[in-house]
Structure 1
Amino acid sequence: MSAKTLRTRIVEFADRTPFVRPVWSYYRSMQQKDRSRFDTIYHCCTQKTASQWFRGVFADPVFRDHTGLISVPYIDLGLKEARIDQEFGSGTIATHLYIDYPTYRAIPKPARYRAFFIMRDPRDAIVSWYFSARYSHPLVKPVDELRPALQSMEFEDGMIFLIDKLEAYGSFTTQFSWLEAKHDPHVRLMRYEDLAADNRAFLASLLDYLEVDLPETAFDTLYARNNFQTLTGPRKQGEEDIHAHNRKGVAGDWRNHFTARIRDHFDKVMGGRLERLGYTDG
């Protein structure tokens, strides 16, 4: 387990455990240097869009001390079944909400809030899903059903099987639904590709959007604890470990895995809609 993962788990344990929370909250309040002007922030996404990276950033004491926001991770995975009928409460950042845009709009919201959604090339998401479901992800639903199926298939058959599953789960339609948010003043659409290209620049842009003003030393600490190199140790970004949760951390890796047969099936399922998301067939 990486230091970041351990730190995130300790922080989240302290936030949600009744006999620890009062002491932890008091300690954090003594460290607090600034407070967010937003009552709630919503981090929305689909799976395989670096959701655990965001979770670690938002649970980091540096972020907490300069916003006063408590990270509340959303653990339900069903995109089509997701329903959120209550506010998350003032002073929270709802982390990795696996929801479509209509579900987000239906969430009761406070007076001051901000949201963002992470886009990703569906082809890269499929590849990430494949290696995660087959090798590295804990056996929770639906991975507990996908893994034995994928292990029984050749790679091409497994990828085609997974494309159909992700279509059924709503992974692709969820991304399309968020295109409706382009003119929503409370929402910004961001891209996984920008995070993969430059962790530091993306983090700076994210904090700017959320109006989190960190001193340079605090930003450097937050970045140092949450960049790809820190998460993977000696393995550099782009070097693959199919058994690791952070498998590779680059965009465009689908080109290394999509055969003509896989690509034909993907195109059939997408029905020419890919460019609407801002991605090309090249």
Structure 2
Amino acid sequence: MSLNIEYEGSLYPSLIHSEESLRFAREEFQVRDDDTFIVTYPKSGTTWMQEILPLIFSEGDLTPIHTMQNWQRVPWLEQKSGKALLENRPSPRLITTHLFYHLMPKSFYTSKAKVVYVIRNPKDALVSSFHYHKMASFLENPGTFDEFIHKFLEGKAVMFGSWFDHIKSWWAVKGQDNILFLTYEEMLQDMRGVLVKLGEFLGKQLSGDAIETIAKQSKFDNMKQNNMSNYSFVPEDVMNQKESNFLRKGIAGDWKYHFTAAQTEYFNSVYAEKMKGLNFPFYED
């Protein structure tokens, strides 16, 4: 059995996706106006936001994140479990996806559903993906780091397709008032400010105490120790966390410890070409 299936030009791990689940997400899923989607390219802060949004909706009550696995509290739309976990869930629903804008459910485009889109420095997303591919048995062997850089930049042999295409698909609709763009880096630098921004966007008036509670719980070390969030219940033959922790470092700039000068120059040249003419405020270091 192949490790991946292809759908609309992108690869999806076949252990947790199927043609039926992807078709359901695109063709059948009925989006509600009070749905909130977490949208990311892989390894860009997804698990982090799956910790934060339930706490915002619970106004700082920690019960949701200590009693439910993160994939149950904020289910994945396109995975095999999506239909069962989401279809009959009471509103308001929190939903996670890696889908491109043009592959969102057809009912999404006429809804008032909100999207929190998290962007991360692509070099850091690449490094995190490299380690993830090494520890997850359901993903292709990444090869050498240099080989993986080329795969990532080409977007043809990595899960969920091209980082560049994913960013462009969502950045093209940045003017819509139901989409909020955040960066992984600003979450690290000013979580309280991010929480205020999220509260306003989601229509949630958070007290000062709630903001402090959420900011504390969503610190990387606290989240890493939360067994409902760190994937420690996943069998070792599926995710070998002796090879690399699923929640590894949670920092910005880790790429500087992996890239050579030549690799950095090459990455930057490809980035400049692919993002040419796009009014996009990141990353040219």
Q: TM class, shorter-chain normalised?
A: 0.5 to 0.7
Deviations 1:154-184 (CA, angstroms, capped at 9, x unpaired):
x333433444434982332011111111211
Q: How many residues align?
A: 221
Structure 2 residue matching 1:95: 3-state secondary structure? strand
Structure 2 residue matching 1:281: 3-state secondary structure? coil
Which residue is 1:160 aligned to?
150
Which residue is 2:76 aligned to?
74
For 1:99, give the aligned amino acid: L
Which residue is 1:49 aligned to?
44
For 1:63, give the aligned amino acid: F
Percent identical among aligned pairs is 20
Rounded Cα–Cα distance in structure 2 between residues aligned with 1:118 and 1:270: 19
Which of 146, 171, 176 is the equivalent residue of 2:168?
A: 176
Superposed CA RMSD in Å reads: 3.7
Which residue is 1:245 aligned to?
246
Indicate whether 1:185 and 2:177 are aligned: yes
TM-score, length basis structure 2: 0.63
Structure with more contact order per residue of length (Cα contacts < 8 Å, sep ≥ 6) = 2
User: 1:169 and 1:247, CA in 2 relative to 1: closer, same or farther beyond 3 A?
Assistant: same
User: 1:53 and 1:218, CA in 2 relative to 1: closer, same or farther beyond 3 A?
Assistant: same
Indicate whether 1:278 and 2:281 are aligned: yes
Indicate whether 1:106 and 2:106 are aligned: yes
CA shift for structure 1 position 39: 1.7
Structure 1 residues 205-220: aligned runs within 5 Å = 205-220=197-212
Which residue is 1:139 aligned to?
137
For 2:114, give the aligned amino acid: R
Which of 207, 221, 231 is the equivalent residue of 2:213?
A: 221
For structure 1, list consecutive stretches of 5 or more residues without a partner in the other structure: 1-37, 78-85, 234-240
CA shift for structure 1 position 212: 1.0
Deviations 1:230-251 (CA, angstroms, capped at 9, x unpaired):
1246xxxxxxx98222222222
TM-score, length basis structure 1: 0.64
Higher helix share: 1
Rounded Cα–Cα distance in structure 1 between residues aligned with 2:73 and 2:110: 16
Q: Tell me if structure 1 keeps the 8 A contact 2:117–2:179.
A: yes
For 1:184, give the aligned amino acid: Q
For structure 2, list consecutive stretches of 5 or more residues without a partner in the other structure: 1-32, 65-71, 80-85, 226-241
CA shift for structure 1 position 112: 4.2
Structure 1 residue matching 2:93: 3-state secondary structure? strand
Structure 2 residue matching 1:272: 3-state secondary structure? helix
Q: Tell me if structure 1 keeps the 8 A contact 2:112–2:178.
A: no
Rounded Cα–Cα distance in structure 1 between residues aligned with 2:57 and 2:284: 38
Rounded Cα–Cα distance in structure 2 between residues aligned with 1:158 and 1:110: 38
Structure 2 residue matching 1:217: 3-state secondary structure? helix
Rounded Cα–Cα distance in structure 2 between residues aligned with 1:113 and 1:161: 33
